[in-house]
Structure 1
Amino acid sequence: MARFYHGKKEHHFRRLVLSTLLFCSIAACFYVGVDSVSSRTKEEQKKSLEAAIQRGITHCFAVEGRYPESLTYLKKEYGIQYDSNDFFVDYQIAGANIMPDVTIIEK
């Protein structure tokens, strides 16, 4: 049994602690990276939704000669889609020939 023992037990404990610390450091870096990418993706989704809604409003005005009366109409007739669990869209009409005020809030 003694021929397989090459050192003190403290040396094995030190390796275990260093391995655990290295693993935790790598896991933390991975988590921070994924979180950063996730927040950038949300921001890009918001910008894309803003652009899609503005294009839909403009297209409706060009085709029909009036602005959409509601967000529901815009979604139904012009194919605007978004995840309502991720974003809240406030669509306010100011008048028949005034472009609606659209506010998008990330939940």
Structure 2
Amino acid sequence: MKVKRGQNRERNGLGGMVASAALMAAALAAFALFSVQFGNRTGARDQETLKKAIARASVQCYAIEGRYPPSVEYLEENYGVMINRKKYHVFYDGFASNVMPDITVVPVTAAE
């Protein structure tokens, strides 16, 4: 009987190790998926925050100077807006000084 018990323990030990490894792999895969999704949500939030900051600075410029700023660079120089050019492209289309400009923020792709 001792021989059979020892063999069963070896089989259970090997099966337990395989089950533990499978559980660990599943946990790592779930963590990786969560990390990627969290990064995507954070990037989208950063993008929206930048767009709102540019819009607020534009309105502030209009309130102080009586006109919307001619460019994003003007906002950077005079109103403290900081844009990470390595991370985002900002398109600022103001066709008249008394009309709120159209602001678009697009993330830089890896291919660029």
Q: State whether TM-score is above 0.5.
A: yes
Give a deviation string over 1:17-46, Cα, whole Å, max 9, x none.
211111100001111111221111112112
Name the stretch that deviates more: 74-83 or 21-30: 74-83
Give the TM-score of the pair, scaled to structure 1.
0.84
Question: Quick one: distance in 2 between partners of 1:42 and 1:98?
Answer: 29
The equivalent of 1:61 in structure 2 is 62
The one-letter code of the counterpart of 1:29 is A
Structure 2 gaps, min length 5: none
Matches within 5 A, 1:29-48: 29-48=30-49
Question: Quick one: distance in 1 between partners of 2:58 and 2:24?
Answer: 51
The equivalent of 1:7 in structure 2 is 7
Give the share of equivalent positions with the same residue, in percent. 29
Structure 1 gaps, min length 5: none
The equivalent of 1:92 in structure 2 is 93
The equivalent of 1:75 in structure 2 is 76
RMSD: 1.9
Question: Quick one: distance in 1 between partners of 2:98 and 2:76?
Answer: 20
Counting matched residue pairs gives: 104
Question: Quick one: distance in 2 between partners of 1:86 and 1:12?
Answer: 50
